Structure 1
Amino acid sequence: MIASLPMYDRPETRGAFENMNPEPPVLVLDGNGLSCASLVAAIEQKAGVELTDEAWLRVSKAREVVEHITSSGIAAYGINTGVGSQKDHAVPTAALAEFNRRLVRAHATRVPGPSLSEGIVRGALIVLLNGFAKGYSGVSEELVKVIIGKLAEGKFPTIDAGGTVGASDLVPLAQIADWLISSEQAQASGLPKAKETLSLINSNAVSLTVGALQLVELKNLTWAQELAAATSMEGFRCNLDAISEIVNKVHIRPGQTRVADRLRTFLQGSRLWSKGEARLLQDPLSFRCISQIHGAVEEVVLNAEEILTQELNSLADNPVVDHDSFAAFSNGNMDTTRHTLALDQVRQGLAKITDISGERIHKLQWTAFSGLPTGLAAEDSAIGGVQFLNLGHIAASLITSVKIWAQPQLLIAIGQLADGVEDTAGNAFHAVHDLQRQIDAAWTIAAIELSIATWSIQRRGLSEANLGVAVRDVVQSILPLLPVGVEGIEVFDLSIVRNALKNR
């Protein structure tokens, strides 16, 4: 049975629904109130979705504009013309339905490789609906009802994860759109109508969904990394002056202050707060700068969450349909530079956190720094200890990967996409995909640090009663999972520690 770690004021990352019925849960969208947390909660709870009355009215009014444009013959991009490099070709009114059907399938090219999870498909549909609820897309009420119905059914197609460069998630959204308009309900409603294909595919709904999922998980991960770091501070017998209130008071760094507060909470009751308990007058920077580095990353993560929340409640559709002026406006709102730039910073910050975790992992095994036997072996011999299990090498390999995935994606974009008309992209999906890979590796790195820190505490023979309250519970949960004293007799599986950390 996998042990579970205590929470200790773990950050709340699953937002509650507003206007939610308890059975079954329903997320009500108005185009402005969707958050990363509420989107993730809707995905995990497989919530139904509805629009507010005001949102339905806005959808109806925007549709009037599209129908006016098609009946009047006024040229409007993507409504009665081709798209991209074929924008200068008119589409006759009688051919609009056929044009929209073919446009979907032309963009839905299957891409060999990984597929999106059903949760991501569900999330992308919710993001699309929230954009439509703003009333500037011009889609029909019938299309909105089809999407709501598909969410209620809860059965989703296999969608390819490739083919998007951050100038709308064209390929995966086109595959979703093809599935939608091929449904019996869509066929019976005469879908797709003018502009509806463009509104379905001209969005970053997939990238935003993946980004929201990762940022929500990242809050849990960074909390776990701080808990592992606090355990390392106990195992190393650190000087806690580095996280004292006065040290964090004199520097205007809100994130640093919050992290130091949490570390003090984790270490509440520890003997390290007593005079003469710290082994060194000044510890290595990887211990001494935990609150500074983790705090800086927390600020970046919160900024990224704010940006993604704004994007979740924005419209990337082109053209924008305006009921007040009864006109359509060509634009570049699908550009993803803003959230790619924010996520690039997040990935670099996460790489920095894992980097100093790796330094602590090795300092705890390094007798010149730790004062413990090399590799935390019970005695000087050819076998035993953490290094005998090769955990340091595993951590180094994972940290290397995390650093590779931290490279900025914004500047890697290939310029030419479509005959010179589409000549830049933000690479948002690449940014969130690399963050996803980083987070997965970082959970294992945190589990390694927690294992080695716990091992260090055991090797020092420290009484659990003298440890910080959170660290005490960690040691009680993790120590039985470790092969202390029986190294090499059976193969050690890190997943048991990782699962205990993730499922706390």
Structure 2
Amino acid sequence: MSDSREPVAIGSTPLSIDDVVAVARHGAPVLLTEEAALAVKDMRVRMLAGLDADGPPVYGLTTGVGDLYDVSVAPEHVSSAQLKMLKSHACGVGEPYPPEVMRAMILLIVRAMAQGRSGVGLGLVETLVAMLNRGVTPWSPGRGSVGYLIGTAHIGLVTAGLGRAYFEGELLPGAEAMRRAGLPVLELGPREGHALVSGTYEVTAMAALAVHDARLLTAAADIAAAMSLEALRGNDRAFDPRVQQVRPHPGQAATAANLRALLDGSAIVAAHRHHRLQDPLSLRCAPQVHGSVRDALDYAERTVTIEANSVTDNPLFSVAGDELTAHTGGNGHGAPVAMALDVLAIAVTHLLNISERRTDRLTNAHFSELPAFLAAPGGEDSGFMIPQYVAASLAAEARALAQPASVHNIPTSAMQEDHVSMGVPAGWQARQAVEYAQQGLGIEILAAAQGLEHHGTLRPGAGTGAAYRAVRERVAALEEDREMYPDLAAARELVADGSLVAAVEAVVGGLAR
């Protein structure tokens, strides 16, 4: 896989969420630094030298895993047990993970292993990097994980020439995908199976992509709100900096600043400044609601960034002088990221809820002072009647997805793992909530653009005008009923791929995310 993007270096520099997206979604190349390679090699030598059949047991290396932690593995079976572990753990079910999630998992595994605390060989780390760079993407079912183990086990199978993987758009047996990419398969040694499955890479991969997409949604939501405010003859008094200063939540202030920039120079707002004393809450309180989403995403982003740069393996190895210590711990518990994903799902559901309320106002002639359902007069056209139904349906589903997954603990492994994160279910819920919010905001933007058609020669704001033009480049104004589903799909894409935000930022400068 080739890409013109700058390489993402794995070494002493922390990974950012943007780095994860660049590799997972856009194919940016990955470079393992010499410093990282030396750290991996050094710990591997020390760990192998420290293996002693008469020494203390090392979890997952000289013992079984889970409730088999107290069962010793014979020295001659230490290596073969690693592949067996991958085979037994690769038992996902249901729809497959998207390739971008699998690529993000691989990158996060590499980042953790490159810190030299897992005891794996350099060959494994280099193979994972080569799989990313040459486009070998393991296939894995996406359901069945309580927070780890499943997707990463399927990755491990491909390194050993088993499982299945995508290569150049084709789903192949793992060995064939590796052969076509010119990569040798591995004979996994001590620790190398267990280290692949024992971290939080699965849930963190889903979280990094969801945080990135949710960040983009906040700017799109501000654009949608500003367009709706103009279409509904609203005013911008509630966005005055003096209002924000006495309640200084960072997200609220950032949202209000965005809205002021988007509406700057609006002849529509100027003409209706005294049209009503105050607007409904879905318009007037956009800074408070969108801002709360921003603040929630700050927490989620901080948590996911820490996790992406952590070592969540178990055991971990450290060296003091010449003494090697194997630490058994709980860094593999996905609670921090699972809770962040639950918060993210709640946050984007709020964006969708308030957006749907604005869409209803745009289409409801009892409140909008616009044609009923933004349709042509005469009663034979339904206009935007049913897109509002769609937004309502998505909002209802998102509310169900916003119910926290991380609190639904079910013990596993014969009560040895008696509290699990449910991070992957939380990840799926957050991912779906983001997709619903993308579509819901797309519907609002279409309806708002249609509403702006009814303001004659009055000029919209600098930002809202740019947004209107971006919409019209993809979707024509609705003059009479037509098939609407292509318009809704185009509007979602405009939000999801960043085109809407980019078009606006080209005019008003960078918007707070």
Aligned to 1:96: 78
1:181 aligns with 2:160: yes
SS of match in other structure, 1:382 = coil
1:326 corresponds to which residue? 324
Q: Give, in angstroms, the shift of residue 265 of structure 1.
A: 0.8
* Residue identity opposite 1:447 in structure 2: G
The 3 A distance-change label for structure 1 pair 235 and 67 is: same
1:386 and 2:383 equivalent? yes
Write the deviation string for residues 23-78 of structure 1: whole angstroms up to 9, x where unpaired: 67432111651111111112234233232222222212322342133235321111
Structure 1, residues 467-495: CA drift from partner, whole Å, max 9, x if none?
11122233334357245331258876422
Q: 2:292 aligns with which of 290, 296, 310?
A: 296
Whichever residue aligns with residue 285 of structure 1, its letter is: L
Where structure 1 has 5 or more consecutive residues not aligned to the other structure, the ranges are: 1-20
Matches within 5 A, 1:21-100: 25-30=6-11, 33-71=14-52, 73-74=54-55, 75-100=57-82
Q: State the 1:22 CA deviation.
A: 8.7
Match of 1:427 among 414, 422, 425: 422
Structure-to-structure mapping, 1:19-418, within 5 angstroms: 25-30=6-11, 33-71=14-52, 73-74=54-55, 75-109=57-91, 111-166=92-147, 169-182=148-161, 191-271=187-267, 274=270, 277-324=273-320, 325-379=323-377, 381-387=378-384, 389-414=385-410, 416-418=411-413
The one-letter code sitting in structure 2 at the alignment partner of 1:348 is I
Whether the 8 Å contact between 1:115 and 1:158 is mirrored in structure 2 is yes
| 8 A Cα contact 2:4 2:28, kept in partner | no
Inter-partner Cα distance in structure 1 for 2:375 and 2:76: 80
| Change in 2 beyond 3 A, CA 1:142/1:500 | closer
Residue 323 of structure 1: SS of its match in structure 2? strand
Quote how far apart the aligned CAs of 1:240 are. Answer: 0.9
Per-residue CA deviations over 1:244-275 (Å, capped at 9, x if unaligned) read 11111221111111111111111010135537
Q: 1:329 to 1:489 in 2, by over 3 A?
A: closer
Of all paired residues, the percent bearing the same amino acid is 26
Q: Deviation of residue 189 (structure 1)?
A: 8.7
What secondary structure, in the 3-state scheme, does the structure 1 residue paired with 2:138 have?
Answer: coil
2:140 aligned counterpart, secondary structure:
coil
> Which position in structure 2 is the counterpart of 1:469?
462
Deviation digits for residues 143-186 of structure 1 (CA, Å, limit 9, x no counterpart)? 222222322321223211122111xx212211111111236899
2:480 is paired with a residue of what secondary structure? coil
- 2:478 counterpart of 1:484: yes
Q: Report the residue type matching 2:394 in the other structure.
A: L
Q: Identify if the C-alpha distance between structure 1 residues 491 and 158 changes in structure 2 by more than 3 Å, giving closer, same or farther.
A: closer
Instruction: Determine if contact 2:160/2:185 at 8 Å carries over to the other structure.
Output: no
Aligned counterparts of 2:30 and 2:484: Cα–Cα separation in 1: 50
Q: Do 2:8 and 2:28's aligned partners in 1 also have CA atoms closer than 8 Å?
A: yes
Aligned with 2:432: secondary structure?
A: helix
The alpha-carbon deviation at position 451 of structure 1 amounts to 1.6
Cα distance in 1 for residues equivalent to 2:483 and 2:214: 35
The answer to whether the Cα contact below 8 Å between 2:383 and 2:480 also exists between their aligned partners in 1 is no
The alpha carbon displacement at 1:296 in A equals: 0.9
Does the CA contact (< 8 Å) of 1:384 and 1:485 recur in 2?
Answer: no
Instruction: Give the SS at the match of 1:214.
Output: helix
Which amino acid in 2 is paired with 1:458? E
Q: 1:45 to 1:330 in 2, by over 3 A?
A: same
**C-alpha separation between the residues in 1 aligned to 2:90 and 2:488?**
40
Q: Secondary structure at the match of 1:196?
A: coil
SS of the equivalent of 1:322 reads strand
**What letter corresponds to residue 398 of structure 2 in structure 1?**
V
Number of residue-to-residue matches in the alignment: 476
TM-score, structure 2 as length reference: 0.87
TM-score, reference length from structure 1? 0.88
Could you tell me which amino acid in structure 1 is paired with residue 144 of structure 2? G
47 and 456 in structure 1: CA distance in 2 versus 1, 3 angstrom threshold: closer
- Counterpart CA distance in 2 for 1:496 and 1:187 is 40
- The answer (yes or no) to whether the contact 1:271–1:277 under 8 Å persists in 2 is no
The higher-RCO structure (CA 8 Å, 6+ apart) is 1
SS for the counterpart of 1:494 is helix
Counterpart-to-counterpart distance in 2, 1:449 and 1:68: 63
Cα–Cα, structure 1 residues 45 and 283, in superposed 2: closer, same or farther, change >3 Å?
closer
Residue type of the partner of 1:66? M
Q: Secondary structure at the match of 1:28?
A: strand
CA contact (8 A) 2:138 2:155 kept: yes
Could you list the per-position Cα deviations for residues 350-375 of structure 1 after superposition, in whole angstroms to 9, with x for gaps in the alignment?
A: 11111111111112222332223332
Q: Could you give the per-residue CA deviations for residues 90-129 of structure 1, whole angstroms, max 9, x where no partner exists?
A: 11211111211212211112x3421123322222111111
Instruction: Give the 3-state SS of the residue equivalent to 1:339 in structure 2.
Output: helix
Change in CA separation of 1:191 and 1:351 when aligned onto 2, cut-off 3 Å = same
Q: Equivalents in 2 of 1:31, 1:87: separation in Å?
A: 33
1:499 alignment partner in structure 2: 493
Mapped contact 2:114–2:125 kept (Cα < 8 A):
no
| Separation of aligned partners in 2, 1:188 and 1:475 | 52
Instruction: Verify the 8 A CA contact 1:227 1:471 in the aligned structure 2.
Output: yes
